[in-house]
Structure 1
Amino acid sequence: MPKATLEQWRMFKAVVDAGGFNQASNVVHKSQSSVHHAVNKLEETLGVALFDNDGRKIKLTEEGKLLLSRATWLLEEAKKLESVAHGLQHGVESQLRIAVDLIFPADILHAVLNTVSAQYPYLRIELIESVLSGANALLTSGQVDLAICPFPYPDGFTEELCNINFIAVASPDHPLSQQNKTLTTKDLKTYRQIVIRDSSNERKTDAGWLGAEQRWTVSHISTSIEMIKKGFGFAWLPEKLIEKYLSDSTLRKLPLKQGSSRQATLYLCFEDGELLGPAAREFIGRLRYELMQLQQIES
């Protein structure tokens, strides 16, 4: 068992931070003798001198400098531990696990996470990026608390969040981009399509695949974008996600006769609202607010 107490370490750090025993006593609201006693007791317990006192101001010994960094970490960890315990006492969860489909707008997600973290600074957030049915599979297996997924959740709560617009794109140098005609689905099928792999181990969905003669399947949208930019194939991608590539002509929207764009609906899903803690509820509330603001801007 440790012989030094947290209170003794706190007095030691207070003396360093305040610049003296008298100043520290005012900060911690204890008598100067109490602060002196705590530090002296700490030195006796450790068997090392923490301060050199030249009569005018205190100065840390080399041992004191080394132990100060450790003491600072120890006190911060103790503070975090108490905060977590306080949160648990008042029903605040210590961890929030969220599965989010890759097509969800990242800027909105990041803004919401930042707001929730500011309100619950000791909340640990685990974000799992998923594709197609992957988010709901994680929810079903109990690996996450919330899911944002392109499919409704059959065994719990489902709320429609937003629609994501997809367009068919290819490199400007790709043969599909250089045909001087309006394209059909049949035209697309004769070229390689880049498809994002369903991240669920149980349910594999080929949403968006046109039955092209050649198909490359990848795990991340960024991989798909890089392949398309290099002219290796075409793909259906979220329009918002590739705006900068369309504007600088790195990617080109394919001129389809029908179905030049498609929409996918994203849903917020969870098992039981009664089991959600304050941080999860705050995340949901902020998510709804940010999406509502986006909808107002776009309309």
Structure 2
Amino acid sequence: MLKVTLEQWRMFKAVVEHGGFNQASAQIHKSQSSIHNAVNKIETSLGVKLFRVEGRKTLLTPAGELMLRRVDYLLEEASKVETIAETLAEGIETKLRIAIDAIFPSHLLYKVLDKVSQEFPFLRIELVESVLNGANEQLQGGLVDIAVSAFTLEGLFSEELCQIEFIAAASPEHTLNQTEKALTLEDLKSHRQIVVRDSAVSKSHDSGWLQASQRWTVSHMRTSIDMIKNGFGFAWLPVPLIAKELQSGELVPLNLQSGQTRKVQLHLTFVDGDSLGPAARAFLGELRYQSMMMPTAETSNS
């Protein structure tokens, strides 16, 4: 059993904030005797002296200063508990689980998450970064509430979110960028291709592999980009993720006769729209809005 109630701590803090018992009484609409009794109860129960009086000033003792720091934290946490309870009563979820394909631009995703967190400050967000079928596998397994994937799921609601443009690219020093002739897909097969592994366990899928004679498979898109920047191979890369590298010249589009660019449609999928709470709906709305800001190969090279 606690020796001191939250209300007694609130009165103690009011005395500190307003500079005395009389001032606290006027501000929090409690009688001066009630506030005195609350402070006396704290001092008696805990065996510490919280205030000292100098003339007309009521000042904290060293022990009182230490207790105030702890009380600030205690009252703040109590306020959070009450806010969370109100949130639950209003039907606002406390956790949002999202699986999103790694080709979705991270800087746009960060804006979405930040906006939602500002609107729902007590929301815990769990983000799973996936490749190819990985996001849908997470959704089917009940591990996330929302999936953003290049594939749809039969029987679940899916909407087209955005198209991600891919270009065939390599470093400017790569052999493929040292010739003036237009390259064919057959030309590419004799060079090392960097491929990102499907993060799904049950339904792994190869996308964009040309049956090249050499193949390096990695788990993360950023690893692939870094390898290609350093001249270790080529790949079709999502334009939004390499916009800076294209502008700086660290990556150069390959001069292909055809098929230099490809487009991948990302889909937004969830099990039951009616079961989504306010935070999930806010996430969906902001994600749709940010998806309209997607850069293309033309804007990246301009």
Q: TM-score with structure 1 length normalisation?
A: 0.93
Amino acid across the alignment from 2:283: F
Q: Does 1:86 align with 2:86?
A: yes
**Could you say what secondary structure the match of 1:30 adopts?**
coil
CA separation in 2, counterparts of 1:20 and 1:205? 71
Question: Residues 188 and 58 of structure 1: is their aligned pair in 2 closer, same or farther, counting only changes over 3 Å?
Answer: farther
Kept after mapping to 1: 8 A contact 2:96/2:279: yes
Kept after mapping to 1: 8 A contact 2:99/2:130: yes
Alpha-carbon distance, 1:58 to partner? 2.7
Alpha-carbon distance, 1:208 to partner? 1.6
Matches within 5 A, 1:218-237: 218-237=218-237
Question: Residues 68 and 233 of structure 1: is their aligned pair in 2 closer, same or farther, counting only changes over 3 Å?
Answer: same
* Range with greater deviation from structure 2 (124-133 or 17-26): 17-26
CA separation in 2, counterparts of 1:24 and 1:292? 53
1:216 aligns with: 216
1:14 aligns with: 14
2:139 aligns with: 139
Q: Does 1:240 align with 2:251?
A: no
Amino acid across the alignment from 2:169: V
C-alpha offsets along residues 12-40 of structure 1, whole Å, 9 cap, x if unaligned?
22222333323333332322222222222
CA separation in 1, counterparts of 2:244 and 2:293? 22
CA separation in 2, counterparts of 1:191 and 1:27? 77
Alpha-carbon distance, 1:93 to partner? 0.6
Alpha-carbon distance, 1:176 to partner? 0.9
* Range with greater deviation from structure 2 (260-269 or 132-141): 132-141
Amino acid across the alignment from 1:280: A
**Could you say what secondary structure the match of 1:200 adopts?**
coil
Question: Residues 242 and 63 of structure 1: is their aligned pair in 2 closer, same or farther, counting only changes over 3 Å?
Answer: same
Alpha-carbon distance, 1:103 to partner? 1.1
1:261 aligns with: 261
CA separation in 2, counterparts of 1:81 and 1:158? 36
2:160 aligns with: 160
Percentage identity across paired residues of the two chains = 57
CA separation in 1, counterparts of 2:160 and 2:134? 17
Alpha-carbon distance, 1:294 to partner? 5.9
C-alpha offsets along residues 154-203 of structure 1, whole Å, 9 cap, x if unaligned?
24211110000000111111111112211111111111111112122222
CA separation in 2, counterparts of 1:268 and 1:132? 13
Matches within 5 A, 1:28-177: 28-177=28-177
CA separation in 1, counterparts of 2:77 and 2:22? 27
CA separation in 2, counterparts of 1:288 and 1:39? 54
**Could you say what secondary structure the match of 2:201 adopts?**
coil
Alpha-carbon distance, 1:142 to partner? 1.4
CA separation in 1, counterparts of 2:218 and 2:57? 65
**Could you say what secondary structure the match of 2:38 adopts?**
helix
CA separation in 1, counterparts of 2:49 and 2:155? 63
Q: Does 1:291 align with 2:294?
A: no
Kept after mapping to 1: 8 A contact 2:194/2:215: yes
CA separation in 1, counterparts of 2:27 and 2:290? 42
CA separation in 2, counterparts of 1:29 and 1:201? 63
CA separation in 2, counterparts of 1:293 and 1:223? 25
CA separation in 1, counterparts of 2:278 and 2:198? 31
CA separation in 1, counterparts of 2:263 and 2:65? 61
Kept after mapping to 1: 8 A contact 2:157/2:272: yes
Kept after mapping to 1: 8 A contact 2:170/2:233: yes
* Range with greater deviation from structure 2 (202-211 or 245-254): 202-211
CA separation in 1, counterparts of 2:256 and 2:55? 85
Amino acid across the alignment from 2:7: E
**Could you say what secondary structure the match of 1:207 adopts?**
coil
Runs of 4+ that moved beyond 4 A: 292-295
Amino acid across the alignment from 2:275: L
Number of residue pairs matched?
296
**Any stretches of 5+ residues in structure 2 without a counterpart?**
none
* Range with greater deviation from structure 2 (158-167 or 278-287): 278-287
* Range with greater deviation from structure 2 (112-121 or 277-286): 112-121
Measured on the aligned residues, the alpha-carbon RMSD in Å equals: 1.8
CA separation in 2, counterparts of 1:237 and 1:17? 58
